[in-house]
Every structure is written in C-alpha cells, then in structure tokens.
C-alpha cells in the first residue's frame, strides 16, 4: 500500500474566476441515453479564464434551476434541431428530423431565466437559434429547401469533415458590439448548419450576415451582454484571434457577475 502521506492536498486558488453554464446535449446510444458536449466548448471557456459547468438536459426543473443558480454566464451550444412547434410551425423541411424535447425544454427555461436576470449570454449555432426562438422569433427549418436560391453552402465545413474549415465571409454592422470584439467588420467563418434565423425575436438585432443575407450574428438590444453567432468559434479559438476574443469578452463580462449575482436573488 502506498503511504497516504505522499499525497499532498494541493488546492489551486480560483480567485474570482466566473462559472460558465454550458448547455448539454442528450443523445441515445447502444447502452442508453448519454449527456455530453464537445470538448472544444470546455477548452474555450477554460482558455478564456472561466470555469465550465455542464448543465444536462433533463425533465427535472429543480435540478436545472439549482445548477443555474451557480453560474455567472450562460453558453448555449450547437446541436440538434429545435422543434418547430415551439415557434408555432409544422415541420416544413426535408431535414427537420432530429429534435430533443428534453433539451428544448431545459434550454428554453435556462434562456428565460438568463434573459430575465440580464446574465451574460453567448449563443453558438443552435444556441443562436434557441435564443431567437426564446425571444419569440422563427427559423428557416432547412435552408437548402426553403432558400434554394442561396449560393452559400452553410454546411461547407460539415461536408469536408473539417469543423474548423473557414468556408464563407460574414459582414458585421459597423459599430456593433461584435465588430468591436473582433476588431473587424468582416470575418471568415466555419459553417455547419442547415437551419437559421428567419424572423428575429423581440430585442434581438441581426448584426452580421452571410453573403446570401442569412443572419449570422445577433445582438441583444435590451441586455448588458448578449451575443450569438451561427458559426462555431469554439473550433477556431486556438487559431483565430477573433474567436479567442469572443470567449475572452464573454468570460470577462461574466466575471463582473461573480459578486453581485451570488448576493442577490434570482428570478424564478
């Protein structure tokens, strides 16, 4: 037996690092449902100075709320499609097949709380679509079907099996918050989606578009720090300054919540 005395109780100082809630996916496997997120989300938050806390998709509202009370910012991640019934539509797209009722319900609650509490929020891909739907907006259910005239391959990175491949340009509105964060009004992005924002939700403004006019970035007009992007900066932060800046700005915004949030009541 190894003497216990050789193990040192070393506990690193956390200082005032903010906790970032990351919405998790739930998927079927041969051995049953699994909760998971891509490691790139975790590493992007750690690299930016935050502490990632994965919030699983469950039907247990009390558990979800208890985890939410621990966070200083919310990251809504990419993943499966959102049920069109949530924004009042029937299925009208050849690829709108992969939905998760548990994830929809969990993330809509998290979004409602975070929006009400003016928590720093970042949405990525499905996360942008989720925030838009939570704010009363609608989606293109399948871009190739509903916008066949588009010359942009919005699944260009998917088709090459390279999630980090930069496939098209996004043009940002001069003077918008994201342009300031990126330090540019044009940026090359990767693209792995077949759905997109159609009608922006209340309080959300389209500040970035693809060459075909598809909404690629949203900004919250009534919130202190709310941004979303249709591409996947978590796959780019190690090689693209703009992507790294986005996560740094998000975590910095969440850091200002560390004291105030933990000493104030949160909306139910």
Rounded-to-integer distance, Cα 15 and Cα 207, Å: 35
Burial class (CB in 10 A: 0-12, 13-18, 19+), 189: buried
The two tokens of residue 218 are: 């949203």
Ramachandran angles phi, psi of 209, nearest 5°:
-135, 155
Which 3-state string (H, E, C) describes 113-132?
HHHHCCCCEEEECHHHHHHH
Rounded-to-integer distance, Cα 196 and Cα 9, Å: 49
Q: Which residue, chain included where needed, has tokens 């070393």?
A: 10
Ramachandran angles phi, psi of 73, nearest 5°:
-165, 155
DSSP 79-113: -SBPPGGGGT----STTTT-B-HHHHHHHHHHHHH
CA distances from 87 to 136, 140, 208 (A): 7, 11, 23
The two tokens of residue 191 are: 């693209």
Active-site residues: which are they? 125, 232, 234
Ramachandran angles phi, psi of 41, nearest 5°:
-65, -45
């Amino acid at each position: 037996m190894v003497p216990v005395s050789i193990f040192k109780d070393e506990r690193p100082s956390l200082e005032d690092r903010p906790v970032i809630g990351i919405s998790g996916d739930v998927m079927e496997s041969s051995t049953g449902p699994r909760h998971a997120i891509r490691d790139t989300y975790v590493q992007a938050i750690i690299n930016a100075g935050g502490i990632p806390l994965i919030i699983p998709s469950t039907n247990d509202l009390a558990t979800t709320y208890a985890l939410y009370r621990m966070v200083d910012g919310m990251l809504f991640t990419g993943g499966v499609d959102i049920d069109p019934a949530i924004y009042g539509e029937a299925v009208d797209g050849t690829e709108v097949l992969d939905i998760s009722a548990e994830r929809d319900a969990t993330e809509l609650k998290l979004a409602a709380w975070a929006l009400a509490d003016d928590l720093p929020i970042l949405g990525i891909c499905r996360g942008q679509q989720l925030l838009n739907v939570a704010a009363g907006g609608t989606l293109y259910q399948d871009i190739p079907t509903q916008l066949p005239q588009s010359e942009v391959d919005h699944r260009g990175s998917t088709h090459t099996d390279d999630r980090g491949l930069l496939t098209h340009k996004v043009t940002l509105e001069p003077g918008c918050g994201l342009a300031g964060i990126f330090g540019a009004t044009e940026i090359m992005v990767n693209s792995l989606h077949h759905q997109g924002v159609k009608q922006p939700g209340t309080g959300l403004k389209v500040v970035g578009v693809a060459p075909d006019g598809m909404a690629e970035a949203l900004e919250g007009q009534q919130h202190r720090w709310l941004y979303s992007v249709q591409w996947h900066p978590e796959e780019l932060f190690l090689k693209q300054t703009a992507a790294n800046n986005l996560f740094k700005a998000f975590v910095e915004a969440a850091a200002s919540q560390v004291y105030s949030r933990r000493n104030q009541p949160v909306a139910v």
